[in-house]
Amino acid sequence: MRRPPRTAALALMAGLALLATNCSPSPSATVATTVSEASGSAAEGPPNIVIITADDLGYGDLASYGHPNIRTPHLDRMAREGQRWTSFYAQAPVCSPSRAALLTGRVHLRSGMFGRRTAVFFPDSLTGLPATEVTLAEALRDQGYATGIVGKWHLGHLPEYLPTRHGFDSWFGIPYSNDMDWHLPEGMANRTAYFAPEMDYWHVPIMRNEEEVERPADQSTLTDRYAQEAVTFIESHQDQPFFLYLPHTMPHMPLFRSEPFEGHSTAGTYGDVIEEVDSAVGRVLETLERLELAANTLVVFTSDNGPWTSFETHGGSAGPLRHGKGTTFEGGMRVPAIFWWPGTIEPGVIQDIGSAMDLFTTSITLAGGVVPADRPIDGVDISPVLFGTGMTPRDSMAYYRMGELFAFRQGPYKVHFVTEGRYGLPPARTEHDPPLLFDLRVDPGERYDISTEQPTTVAALVEAAARYEANMTIAEPLFDLRGG
C-alpha cells in the first residue's frame, strides 16, 4: 500500500538538505524536484532506511567489485540501478568499533568503543555502547520510524547494552561474533574448528529482543532466518516509515550456509556463503517491490571491515587492495558500498571518499531530523552525491587501530605513521618517520612509497593529521574492561 503524499515533509527535507550541505539554494531545489519526480507522485513521506552489512566481506568479494566467480546478481543489480562507491570506508578494521561508528555517526574513540589490549567486545565484557550515545535507531524513532535490527549486534551483550536499550523496537540475532564462547572437543586446535566447523563448537545464543531463544545457534540457517525476519519486519511496518538494520553474521569465520547453498558456487564454502547473503539481499528487494515501497526506500549494502585473510582459502579477498581485517591498510577498512533507491539515486560509480559514519547523518537528514548538536558528529550528509546534485564535503579519512592513529588519508594521498599486519601475517609493527606516502589514485594497493619524492605532500598530510587528532575527543577505552 502506498502512503499518502506528504508535501510538507518533502519541503522540510529540502530545507534540511540546504542547511546540512550549506549549498546555494539552487542545488537543494534540484534535490526536491528529483525526489518528487522520482517517487512517481508527490512525496510519500520520509523514506524507509534499510542498512544491510556483511561481516568481514572484502572489497573484492562481489561480482560488481571484480570477483571473477562469486555470483551476486542481486547486489550487482543494486549497483547497476544505484551507486557503487569505490572509496567507502568502514570506520575501523574490526567489528565492534566499526558498528559503533555506523550507529552513532562518530569516530569510535569518542564513545570509548576501543581497547588498548582488546580489539572488540567478548562474552566476558563488562560494558557496552554507553547509554549517552545517540544511535541512528533512537534518532529515527524520534522521527516516527519503526526500528528493527536483524543480525549481529556486538556492542555489549549485557541487558543494559542490548539493541532494545539503544532505540531498536525489536531484535532477532546474535549478541557477539559467531566464533565466541568456545566449546571445542578436547585437544582440537582452534584452527581445525574454523576449517571444519560444527554447530556446538561455539555456544553463541540467538536473541529475540531481550530473551535468549536458542543456544548454541544453528548457524547454518542464520542467513536464511535473518532474511525471513527482515521480510516479516518490512511487511509489518509497510504503513509507517521504518529503519531496518540488517547486520549479517556471515561471512565471519566460522562459515556456515544452509543446505540449498552447499556447493552453490564455484568459489568454495566462502563463495557459497556470499551467494546466500546475496540471495537474502534479493529477498529484501523483492519484498520492497512487492509492497510498492521501493520508490520510497533507501537500501545500503556494505561491510563492517575487510576480509579475514589469515584464513586463506576460507577467507575473503580485498581485491586490488593491500592486506585485510584488523589492519589500517586499505584492505582492512575500504569496503564495498552500494546504494539503491530506484528513481531517486543517480546511478553511477562514485569515487568520492565515504564513511559508514555518513550513513548516520544522511539517514537522519533524509528522515527530516537533525543530528545531535550537543556533541561532535563525524558523519556528513552524502545525499547530494546520491541525488547527483553535489559532492561530499568529506575529503579525509583517519585510520585508527587499538586507539592509535596509524594512518591518515587526505584527498588521494595517504600517510602511514605505523604499519602492522594482523593475525600472524607480516609486516611486523614498524613506526615510520617520516611516514610512508602512497598516492591511492595510481597505487590503490599501497605498494610504492613516494615519501622521498614528495616531501611537501608528506608535510601537508602530517599537519592535517595533527589537526585532526587535536580535535578528537577520546573517551575511556571500554573493551579492556572484562570479567574473570
Q: Given the complex with Mg ion, which of 122 and 468 has the nearer CB atom? A: 122
Closest approach of Cβ 456 to Mg ion, in Å? 37
Interatomic CA distance for residues 469 and 478, integer angstroms = 20
Q: Given the complex with Mg ion, which of 97 and 354 has the nearer CB atom? A: 97
Annotated catalytic residue within 67, 154, 264, 416: 154
Closest approach of Cβ 388 to Mg ion, in Å? 31
Q: Given the complex with Mg ion, which of 95 and 139 has the nearer CB atom? A: 95
Buried b (16+ CB within 10 A) or exposed e, 359-374: bbbbbbbbbbbebbee
Q: Given the complex with Mg ion, which of 56 and 378 has the nearer CB atom? A: 56
Q: Given the complex with Mg ion, which of 47 and 115 has the nearer CB atom? A: 115
Q: Note whether 246 and 51 are within 8 A (CB).
A: yes
Edge-first strand listing for the sheet containing 430-439: 396-401, 404-410, 413-419, 430-439
List residues near Mg ion by CB under 5 A: 55-56, 95, 304-305
Q: Given the complex with Mg ion, which of 55 and 224 has the nearer CB atom? A: 55
Closest approach of Cβ 76 to Mg ion, in Å? 23
Q: Given the complex with Mg ion, which of 229 and 304 has the nearer CB atom? A: 304
Strand 48-54 to strand 337-340: parallel, antiparallel, or no bridges (unpaired)?
unpaired
Closest approach of Cβ 55 to Mg ion, in Å? 4
Closest approach of Cβ 128 to Mg ion, in Å? 17
Closest approach of Cβ 155 to Mg ion, in Å? 13
What distances in angstroms separate CA 52 from CA 72, 285, 393, 435, one per listed residue?
15, 11, 24, 36
- Burial, 453: exposed, middle or buried (Cβ in 10 Å; 0-12, 13-18, 19+)? exposed
Q: Given the complex with Mg ion, which of 75 and 293 has the nearer CB atom? A: 75
Task: Identify any residues that bridge with 242 across adjacent strands, giving them in sequence order.
Answer: 146
In this structure, what are the phi and psi dihedrals at residue 308, rounded to the nearest 5 degrees?
A: -85, 80
What distances in angstroms separate CA 396 from CA 10, 330, 369, one per listed residue?
31, 14, 25
Strands (E), 144-214: 146-150, 170-173, 206-208, 211-214
Closest approach of Cβ 232 to Mg ion, in Å? 25
Interatomic CA distance for residues 419 and 371, integer angstroms = 34
Q: What is the CA radius of gyration of the chain?
A: 21
Closest approach of Cβ 364 to Mg ion, in Å? 24
Coil vs helix vs strand at 208 = strand
Annotated catalytic residue within 67, 74, 95, 264: 95
- The residue number whose beta carbon is nearest to Mg ion equals 95
Closest approach of Cβ 56 to Mg ion, in Å? 4
Does 154 participate in catalysis according to the annotation?
yes
Does 95 participate in catalysis according to the annotation?
yes
What distances in angstroms separate CA 159 from CA 13, 109, 177, 205, 478, one per listed residue?
36, 23, 17, 14, 16
Interatomic CA distance for residues 300 and 246, integer angstroms = 10
Interatomic CA distance for residues 356 and 97, integer angstroms = 11
Q: Given the complex with Mg ion, which of 58 and 369 has the nearer CB atom? A: 58
Coil vs helix vs strand at 10 = helix
In single-letter form, the type of residue at position 121 comes to F
Interatomic CA distance for residues 341 and 30, integer angstroms = 17
Q: What is the residue-wise DSSP string for 430-455?
A: EEEEEEEEEETTT-TT-----TTT-H
Strand 404-410 to strand 396-401: parallel, antiparallel, or no bridges (unpaired)?
antiparallel
Active site (catalytic) residues: 95, 154
